[in-house]
Structure 1
Amino acid sequence: MRGLGRMPLTCMGLGCAQLGGLYEPMDDADAHAIVDAAWGLGIRYFDTAPYYGFTLSEHRLGAALRHRPRADYVISTKVGRLMRPDPSVRPGEGGWGAPLPFRPEFDYTYAGILRSHEDSLQRLGLDRVDILYVHDIGRVTHGSRHEHYWQQLTHGGGFRALAQLRDEGSVRAFGLGVNEWEVVADAMEECDLDCALLAGRYTLLEQASLEPLLDRCAGRGIGIVIGGPFNSGILAGTRKFNYEDAPADVVARVAAITAACRAAGVPVQAAALQFPMAHPAVVSCIPGAQSPAQLRQNAAWFAQPIPPGLWHALARDGLIDPRAPVPVG
């Protein structure tokens, strides 16, 4: 258990994109079973978003948690998209196997943030969420439209709405939930962030965000939640990296990391889950799961003993940044 301010987070949480049918459909019973399995493993932090399954993940997570004592778990969701009814939505859109008939519309304004928060409460069937993340803001995500959306957050009152929700006690913390670290550094200059959910940018495969971001966050008490610890699957045996087919250089680097892990008698998945937890800014790691069995396997990897020699070998061979903190014991 680690803390985000006074809010305890389990070191391993559950990322709930799969509950929205990421890449392939998932039925209600299987989604509920994953949440029940997480609860049985002691996981008490759950992260979702309106975008996951075009509202499907929020509906399913809320239904699965509704009978649990509300004080016993932490839930985060995201703002930045409003979900508009649209009967033309088809299977496979956005990478979702069977999305609900809603189409996302970016909106980071003051009114948009407040509306998104209220809509999420209704879908979840809860009177509050604990953490709100601004979802998918940044230059990589929006390209030439980035400045337009950034202005919505800054001069358009988006950050002001988040601070208001926190100050009035409607949420306990807010931050960014993004796939690019640079925009978190920019946001730190604009508002008093509590945290950031960083997907895929501080992992066993890549540590470019170490000194520009994570070390600064540790110094300022901004908690980092690690999403995408397998870099979209490439560190778990698939060929996906950043939600696309992995380029040859990434495949080669993963092969070298995997070989080092194999030589140490360690599954690369165990190293991938445990590596980012060594940084003092990191408060939780939230892999997703397609089934209860996969979730239990993730938990076993998360707890597996790893010999210190593996980290030394990876640093020696230039496969991890030698400045990166590594797990001890």
Structure 2
Amino acid sequence: MLTATPAAPAAARALPRADLRLSPLGLGAAALAGLYDAVDEATAAATLQAAWDAGLRYIDTAPFYGYTRSERRVGAFLAGRPRDGLVLSTKVGRLMEPDLPARPGSDGWADPLPFRPVFDYSHDGVMRSFEASQQRLGGARIDLLLVHDIGRATHGAQHVRHWRALTQGGGFRALASLRSQGAVRAIGLGVNEWEVAWDALSAAPLDCVLLAGRYTLLEQGALGFLDRCAADGVGVVIGGPFNSGLLAGQARYDYGSVPAAVRERADALAAVCAEWDVPVPAAALQFPLAHPAVVSVLSGMRSPQQVASNVAWMHQAIPQALWQALRDRGLVHADAPLPRDPGAPA
């Protein structure tokens, strides 16, 4: 059995176009808002504290998560805490309108607060969303502001209308204005599809793209997009590194059931990892960070135990031979950068 030198804690990585440095492992705060299963207030607070104690200094939230529950919980946790070194991102694109009552299970939220999401990517919609987020976050500084879920995967036939609101209706202009005023330090997208992000890079001067599920150990269809980001100096945050939990042992892919072909590929990845006694989630967390465009990987965590597991996986020693085997067996793209064994000679 080949072994690797234990990995040292990784240093924060810079967004090339902004004065921000993100911890390589960030906390995605959707799970804390009750994605699929409810999380009580005490557990959510303990999870945030565990992440803080572990040195995770990047937190991502959104108005949509739990229908404002996530932002409220993150804001309460950050109240009074020092902000040096912490990066906080939230999103625009949905206005949360009061709506009594909210139905449990709406949009996947186990116990959403009594609001209804209304899409609005216009200049006024972006400004209203930002101001509402400031209220829910208790005045905590928002460092990175992202356009949430623009694209055909979310909007289907309505995509063109929402894209026009963003590009011609002033949505991107509002983001740029907030950045130029110093209200936020960086702007970008938070999406599940790389194609719309490709278009957005030509439409607005973005600093960052949070891309969920499309560049992971399971699939690398967005490799060309990441290469473009690296060339253009646009930072990429990888969300959904476990592809909605599939690579962490859950029977879910892209927020739904697992297609047979996807299951087969996941099983093949697991078999290779087992040969080197490496947990699949460890490989899944570390793989995206090898790409030069990637500055952080966001993992959803709903308990202190999950924080501990994610931190351990991020520091798991992984032999170079495992990465090479994945490439040789066609399980990762031939041109995808591979992590380097810290124990290997330079």
Shorter-normalised TM range: over 0.9
Aligned counterparts of 1:144 and 1:128: Cα–Cα separation in 2: 35
Which amino acid is the alignment partner of residue 237 of structure 1?
G
How far did 1:89 drift? 1.2
Which amino acid is the alignment partner of residue 256 of structure 1?
A
Q: Which structure 2 residues correspond to residues 1-329 of structure 1 after superposition, within 5 A?
A: 1-4=12-15, 5-211=18-224, 213-328=225-340, 329=342
Which amino acid is the alignment partner of residue 302 of structure 1?
M
Q: In the alignment, is the contact (CA less than 8 A) between 2:75 and 2:137 conserved in 1?
A: yes
Which amino acid is the alignment partner of residue 269 of structure 2?
I
Q: In the alignment, is the contact (CA less than 8 A) between 1:275 and 1:326 conserved in 2?
A: yes
Q: TM-score, normalised by structure 1?
A: 0.99
Which amino acid is the alignment partner of residue 144 of structure 1?
A
Aligned counterparts of 1:198 and 1:298: Cα–Cα separation in 2: 19
Secondary structure in 2 matching 1:133: strand
Q: In the alignment, is the contact (CA less than 8 A) between 1:228 and 1:286 conserved in 2?
A: yes
Aligned counterparts of 1:19 and 1:177: Cα–Cα separation in 2: 18
Q: In the alignment, is the contact (CA less than 8 A) between 1:19 and 1:61 conserved in 2?
A: no
Deviation by residue 1:94-129 (Cα, 9 ceiling, x = unmatched): 100110000000000000000000000000002530
Deviation by residue 1:256-300 (Cα, 9 ceiling, x = unmatched): 000000001111110000000000000001101121011110100
Higher relative contact order (CA 8 A, sep 6+): 2
Which amino acid is the alignment partner of residue 44 of structure 1?
R
Gaps of 5+ in 1: none
Q: TM-score, normalised by structure 2?
A: 0.94
Aligned counterparts of 1:277 and 1:72: Cα–Cα separation in 2: 20
Secondary structure in 2 matching 1:71: coil
* Identity over aligned pairs, percent: 58
Aligned counterparts of 1:263 and 1:97: Cα–Cα separation in 2: 38
How far did 1:88 drift? 2.9
Deviation by residue 1:21-54 (Cα, 9 ceiling, x = unmatched): 0101111111000000000000111000000000
Aligned counterparts of 1:71 and 1:234: Cα–Cα separation in 2: 35
Gaps of 5+ in 2: 1-11
Aligned counterparts of 2:84 and 2:183: Cα–Cα separation in 1: 14
Q: In the alignment, is the contact (CA less than 8 A) between 2:92 and 2:147 conserved in 1?
A: yes
Secondary structure in 2 matching 1:84: strand
